[in-house]
């Protein structure tokens, strides 16, 4: 991590450390909400940590690309950048495009020190946001009875992410004393339709779907449409630009930035306690 004076040296004073640029990397989409959420996240993090140069970049479809953003970072005079994959189901290893992207970036920007953080992953704090989103959907649908839950995600993620996603479903199930199945949109596991049919086979009739998506992209809309077609009483909005997401992005950024200092910090411990909240059995209109 470089040391750059942001103001003239003062006798007896200290130079300020220039923080690495933060680049949130999201898969692009033709759905406008994906770019909107990325913009909201960028603005939200800038408001919390104005001293960090914060950008959003997209792997495909939407501008700006990662290369375009890194051009801006270099032009600003920064010497370091930390890339944060905005993947909710990968916990350790990002998808293959991220690895290829980093290799290309290091070749194109040899004077820029780059580090790649762990993906966001299915953290427990995001399950709390999902719970809030589903409560809103149930209230809007005037749903007064619920006997089954589906946790719908874009994909199963990496091995660790898949295990954590299954754990989140069990925690959600235990918290509300309702059966909960996971569903994914990419054919690596049961679809939301299959999950709903499995719950119906158990005698469940009032089933709601929590959407563990960052934004309402094409996969979200496909899963949502399927859920309603197969009789779901409510489908939540995606996670979106929640404050919990700001905190998680900054945590991933901070640990990745430490790699630029060659510090060997261990991964942060994970709190497995679900904060107390009312059950979802009855939601008033």
What's the pLDDT band for 39 if we cut at 50, 70, 90?
A: very high
User: Do both 47 and 135 map to the same domain?
Assistant: no
In this structure, what is the dihedral angle of CA atoms 126, 214, 239, 167, given to the nearest 10 degrees? -30
Mean pLDDT, rounded, for 225-234: 98
Task: Using only the alpha carbons of the chain, give its radius of gyration.
Answer: 21
CA distances from 244 to 3, 130, 179, 221 (A): 30, 11, 26, 23
Domain CATH code at residue 53: 3.40.50.1400
Is 92 a domain residue? yes
Domain boundary among 235, 251, 272: 235
Range of the domain at 101: 21-121+241-259
User: Do both 130 and 56 map to the same domain?
Assistant: no
Residues 260, 46, 24, CA angle at the centre, nearest 5°? Answer: 55
Is 163 a domain residue? yes
In what helix (H) or strand (E) does residue 32 lie, and over which residues does it extend? helix 32-48
Is 144 a domain residue? yes
User: Do both 74 and 207 map to the same domain?
Assistant: no
pTM for the full model?
0.84
Number of compact structural domains in the chain: 2
Is 75 a domain residue? yes
Is 132 a domain residue? yes
**What's the confidence (pLDDT) of residue 187?**
85
Lowest mean pLDDT among 86-95, 137-146, 176-185, 220-229: 86-95
Distance separating alpha carbons of residues 20 and 256, to the nearest angstrom:
10
Is 159 a domain residue? yes
**What's the confidence (pLDDT) of residue 18?**
82
What's the pLDDT band for 264 if we cut at 50, 70, 90?
A: very low
**What's the confidence (pLDDT) of residue 188?**
87
Is 38 a domain residue? yes
User: Do both 33 and 128 map to the same domain?
Assistant: no
């Amino acid at each position: 991590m470089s040391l750059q004076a942001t103001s003239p040296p003062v006798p007896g004073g200290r130079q300020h450390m220039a923080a690495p640029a933060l680049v949130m990397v999201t898969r692009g989409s033709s759905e406008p909400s994906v770019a909107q959420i990325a913009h909201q996240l960028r603005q939200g993090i800038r408001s919390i940590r104005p001293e960090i140069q914060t950008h959003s970049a997209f792997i495909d479809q939407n501008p700006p690309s990662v290369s375009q953003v890194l051009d801006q970072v270099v032009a600003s005079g920064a010497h370091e950048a930390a890339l944060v994959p905005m993947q909710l189901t990968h916990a350790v290893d990002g998808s293959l495009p991220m690895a290829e992207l980093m290799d290309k970036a290091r070749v194109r920007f040899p004077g820029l020190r780059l580090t790649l953080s762990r993906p966001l992953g299915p953290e427990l704090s995001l399950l709390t946001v999902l719970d809030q989103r589903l409560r809103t959907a149930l209230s809007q649908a005037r749903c007064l009875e619920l006997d089954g839950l589906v946790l719908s995600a874009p994909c199963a993620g990496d091995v660790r992410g898949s295990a954590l996603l299954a754990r989140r479903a069990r925690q959600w199930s235990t918290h509300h004393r309702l059966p909960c199945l996971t569903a994914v949109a990419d054919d690596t596991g049961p679809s939301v339709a299959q999950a709903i049919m499995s719950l119906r086979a158990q005698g469940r009739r009032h089933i709601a779907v929590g959407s563990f998506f960052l934004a309402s992209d094409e996969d979200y809309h496909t899963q949502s449409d399927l859920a309603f077609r197969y009789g779901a009483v409510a489908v939540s909005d995606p996670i979106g630009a929640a404050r919990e997401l700001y905190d998680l992005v900054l945590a991933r950024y901070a640990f990745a930035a430490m790699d630029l200092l060659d510090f060997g910090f261990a991964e942060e411990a994970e709190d497995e306690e679900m904060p107390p909240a009312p059950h979802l059995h009855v939601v008033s209109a």
